[in-house]
Structure 1
Amino acid sequence: MTNKHSLYLNRRKVIRGILATTAFGVTSKLWTGCTPTAQQNTPNSPSPAANNSPSGNTKPIVIGFIYVGPKDDFGYNQAHAEGKAGVAKIAGVKTVEEANVPETTAVQETMRNMINQDGANVLFPTSFGYFDPHIIKVAQEYPEVQFLHCGGLYEEGKHPKNIGSYFGYIDEAQYIAGIIAAHTSKTGKLGFVAAKPIPQLLRNVNSFTLGAKTIKPNITTQIIFTGDWSLPVKEAEATNSMIDQGVDVVTCHVDSPKVIMETAEKRGIFCCGFHANQAQLAPKGYLTGAEWDWTSVYSKYVQMISEGKTLMNGGIPHLERGGLKDGFCKLSNYGPAVSEAAKKDAEAAKAKFMDGSMVIYKGELKDNTGKVILAAGKEYKQRDIELEKMNWLVDGVVGSIAS
C-alpha cells in the first residue's frame, strides 16, 4: 500500500470518527442552510440551476461525483471528470468529487461523507460495481438524496425510489468504429481487450464486430478478458498477444485504454479508442474512438432538478438512456490513416443513427457457438431491455465469456 493510499484511508477514518460523535441529521438538513453557497452567475455561465423548493426557498444543487480510478486516466474516469467540470460551470451548482474509490464499503463512506460533510443532495457514483449493494444501502439511509448510477439497471419495486440509472448507447459509436477498423485491417483480424463480461461491455464487443462485418463479412474479433477494470500489465500482455497472432486493429473496454493505445502504436498497428479521446497517445495509428459526452448528460440532469423534478416525484426517469442523437456519446475525429471510403461508410451509418433508422441487432443473428439469438424477421432496437441483459457474443467473435 502506498503512503498516499494510507493517508487517504486515514482521512476517511477521521471523518467517520467525527460523524460518529456529531449530531448530524440524516435527512432533515439536506435541503437547509448546511449546503454551500451557490456560485455567482458569470457571463459565460449556462442558464441558472437553482433548486426551487415548494416553500419558495432557492437552494444550491450540491452534486458529488465519485470515481473508481484517477481523473486523468485517458479513459472512463477522465470522461466523467470532464463531465463534472462541465456542470461545475453552471450557476447555482456546487460540485465535489473523489477519485480512486474502490468498489467496496469505502464508497459507502465516501457517499456518507459527501452528504454529511459537503451537503450533497445529488450523487453520481460512476463505477459499475458501486451499485449493488453499496448505493442501494446508502440510498435507503438517505431517502431525500438522489443517487444516479452509471450503468446499473433500476428495477421498479425492488430498488429505492431515490435511485436512478443512466447510460449511453456508446455501442453505436463502437459499431461505426468497427466499420472503420474493417476498412483499415489487412489481415481481417481485429482485437478487443475487455475487463469483465457485463452486458454493457458485451454489447460493445458485439456492436463493434457487427459494424465490421458489414464491410468484411468474414472478419473476426478476438477477445481477451483481463478480469478487472484496470490491470495495465495484463492489458499490455493481451494486446501484444493478439498482435503476435495477426491482429492489426485493436480496441477495448477497460477503464483506461492508455496502455493499449500506446502498445498498439509501439507495435505499429492501428487502434480505436474508448471513453475519451486517446489520439495523442497514438498519433499514427489512432483511427477513431467511441467517446462519452457526460457534460451533456449531466447538464440535462441539472436542468431537470432545477425545475423541481426528482426521482422520487417521478419527474426524473429512473432509467435514462440515449445514443449519438441524444448527446450521450460521440465519435472521435478520424485519424490520418482513415481512408475516404471508410469515412463515407462511417458517415452513412452515423446518419442512420441520427435519424433513428439504424438497427444493429436484427435476425437472423447467431452467437459464436452457432446458436440462433434472433430469428429471421426479429430485431432488438436500442432501447429494448433485452440488450441490457446481454450474455452472449455474436458470430465472428473469437473467444468466450468464460475465458
Structure 2
Amino acid sequence: MAFAIAVTRERREGETRCAVTPETVKKLVAMGATVSVEAGTGHGSSFPDADYIAAGAVVQPDTHAVLTGADLVLKVRGPTAQEISALKPGAVVVALLDAWREKDTVTAMAAASVTAFAMEFVPRITRAQVMDALSSQANLAGYRAVIEAAAAYGRGFPMMMTAAGTVAPAKVFVMGVGVAGLQAIATARRLGAVVTATDVRPATKEQVESLGAKFLAVEDEEFKNAQTAGGYAKPMSPEYQAKQAILTGEHIKKQDIVITTALIPGRAAPVLVTADQVATMKPGSVLIDLAVEAGGNVEGARSGEVVVTPNGASIVGIANLPGRIASDASSLYAKNLVAFAGLLVKDGVVNIDLEDEILKAAVVTHGGAVVHEGLKG
C-alpha cells in the first residue's frame, strides 16, 4: 500500500520557495508514494499546478484536503498552527524548522504527536552531503548577495578602461567564509571586483586564496584552533575579537562593499561590523548582512530594510536571499528532501529508524515529546 506525502503552499511572509518540484514528484512516486500538492504551491518558484499533475501528483484545493491522512509532510518552513492541527498523530514533518527560534512550533508538534525532522540539523558527514539543505541554500544566498550588492552600489564592479578614463574596480570584503562566503567571493571575482575575505577558521585561508582573493586575519594561536570538529567556527575570546576588530576596522574604511555571512548554530549572529566602523565607510558604500534574520552581523541592520546611515552607507538586510532565486533554490532543496525521505521509507512504507545517525541528529519531536537535546526544557 502506498504511503501518502503531502506538500502545502508556504505561508510564511516572503517565502517563495516550495518543497517539491515536478522533477522530484516523479522520484517520490517512484518510491511508492502518492503525492498531494496544494494548489499554488509552486507559483512563487514558477512551477505551475499543471506540471505537478503531469508528474503524477494530485493537486488539492486547500490545506485540509492535502493534509488529511498524510503520512509524510514536506515543507520549506515549519508548519503553521492550522497545518499542525490537521495532521494525524504519528505523521512525519520534514522542513527547515528554524528550531532554535521557532520553539512554539516545535512544542505544538510535540503536543500533536507529530514526528518532526529539522533539515538544518542534518549532520555534515559524507553520507549526508546530498541532504545538506543549509549548504544548498547558502550557496545561492552567497551568489545573490553579490547581485544585490551590485544593484545597490552606484558604480561598476570591474575595472573598465575607456577613452574618457578608467573606472576603478570595486573593493569587496567578505566576512565569514562558509558556503555562502565562498560563493560570494567567487561571484564578486567573476564580476571583476578586488576581493578580500576573513574568517576565524584557519582552513579557510587556502580556500580564499584559491579563488583569487586575499585573506585577512589575526593569525595567532587562538586562530589556529578556532574550528569545531563539525567545521563550524568556535566563539572567539574577547581578546581575539578586539585584535581582529582593529585589523578589520582599518580594512573596512577602504572598502566599497562588505558582505557578512557569520552564523553560530543556536546563538544570535555575532556582530562583526560596529556602527562606528560603518561610520568610517565612504558615501555610496554597501553592506549586505546575510545573518540579519539571526540578529545581524552589522550593527544597525534591520531585516527586510535598507538602512542608509548619516555618512551615506547603505546597510541592506534582505531576509531569505535564496527566495530571490526561488526556482533554483526550490529545485536544490527538493532534491535534499528526496534524499532525506529515502531514509524514512522502507519497503514502501514510512519506517523510522532513529538509530540511523542522520535521523538521530535531525529529529526534533517524537512520541509526543521534544527529543532533541539542544531544545529540551
TM over 0.5: no
Relative contact order: is structure 1 or structure 2 higher (C-alpha 8 Å, sep ≥ 6)? 2
Using structure 2 for the length normalisation, give the TM-score. 0.37
Give the alignment's TM-score, normalised by structure 1. Answer: 0.35
